[in-house]
Amino acid sequence: MTDVLANVSNDLAAIVAAASPGVVRVEARRRLPASGIVWSADGLIVTAHHVVEQEEEVKVGLADGRTVPASLVGRDPTTDIALLRAQASGLTPLPWAEPDTAKVGHLVLALGRPGPSVLATLGVVSALGEGWRTSLGGRIDRLLQTDAAMYPGFSGGPLMDASGHALGPNTTALLRGLSLTVPAPTVRRVVETLLAHGRVRRGYLGVGAQPVRLPSALEAQLGQPTGLLLVSVEPSSPGGQAGLLMGDTIVAFDGQPTRRLEDLLGQLTAERIGRTVSVRIIRGGQVQERSVTIGARDE
C-alpha cells in the first residue's frame, strides 16, 4: 500500500513539474496576481476575463523567473476568457484534453502561479453536464465542476487530468460558489474568434429585463409560468425601434419560449445579427406580436 501511495504521489508531482512551464502569472489587477495558460510558443496566454481589471501595463510572470510586458488581444466576459500576448517567444504550451475524456471521480490537479512558483491542489471531477449558457449568454460546451480548492490567484490557471493534459482554465466567476473549468472546445472557439476579430460579437436589443410570474390565466394560455418583464428600453435601440416599451413582458423570442434571462441571451448569438424575428409580448394583459431586427454589440 505504501508503494502504491508513493507511486501516485510521484506521478502527481511529475504532472506538476511537466506542466509548470505552461503556467504563468498574470499581473493585471491591483490586488493579488492571477494565473494563465501558455496557448502558443509565440506568447499567447489564456486567462480569466475577470482577473484582467486593467488593459494597460499588464505583465506576465514566466516559469523561468522573467516578468515580461503583455497586451490584451481581446476578451469575452460571457465565457470569462481573456487572451493576452506576452512579449516572449519559445514558450511551452500545455497539451489539451477533450472534455469527453473526463469522468466524475477522476483525479485532477488545479494549478496556479500567483507568485513566483507554481502551486497545486488535488481534487476530483465532481460533476459533468451538457453544454449550458452563462448568465451573460455565453455558450459553454460542457459543464465541468471540480472540488479542487481554488486558492486566491488560481483563476485562469489550468485543471490538469491524470494524463498531464489541461482540461481548461479554472474560474469561480461563472456560477457563484462553484469552481468550474471552461472546457477546451469553448476556449479554442473563443481564442480563434479573438485572434480573428479582437472581440466577440453578440446580438443586441437594448432592453433591460427581469423574470416575472405570469397571471394564472396567461400561464395556462401560454403554457409557461414566467416571462421577462422589460424594466428599461433604450429609445434608439433595436428594441425601442421595434416598439417595445418598459412594462412589456416578453414570453417568446423567434418562436422559442422566454422564461428566464438566459433564454433571451441564448438567442442573441452572432449568427442572428441583422435578422428580423418575431417577439411575443404581453401588454395590458393582452398577447401581442412585434418584429425586431437584432443589432450587434461588440464585447
What SS3 class is residue 101? Answer: helix
Name the catalytic one among 35, 49, 80, 179: 80
Q: Is 165 a catalytic residue?
A: no
First and final CA of the chain: distance in angstroms?
53
Residue 40 designated active-site: no
Q: Which residues face 35 on adjacent strands? A: 25
Q: How far apart are CA 53 and CA 66, in angstroms?
A: 22
DSSP letters, 259-280, are: -SHHHHHHH--GGGTT-EEEEE
Q: Is 237 a catalytic residue?
A: no
Closest Cα to residue 36, out of 58, 57, 18? Answer: 58
Count of beta carbons in the 10 Å neighbourhood of residue 120: 20
Cell numbers standing for residue 220: 395556462
Q: For residue 209, what is its C-alpha cell? A: 429585463
CA distances from 212 to 107, 165, 172, 215 (A): 42, 44, 28, 10
Grid cell locating 30: 491591483
Interatomic CA distance for residues 142 and 51, integer angstroms: 22
Q: Where are the beta strands (DSSP E) in 10-57?
A: 23-27, 34-38, 44-47
Q: Which of 50, 141, 165, 248 is catalytic?
A: 50
Collapsing DSSP to helix, strand or coil, 287 comes out as strand
Residue from 49, 76, 141, 155 carrying the catalytic annotation: 155
Catalytic machinery residues? 50, 80, 155
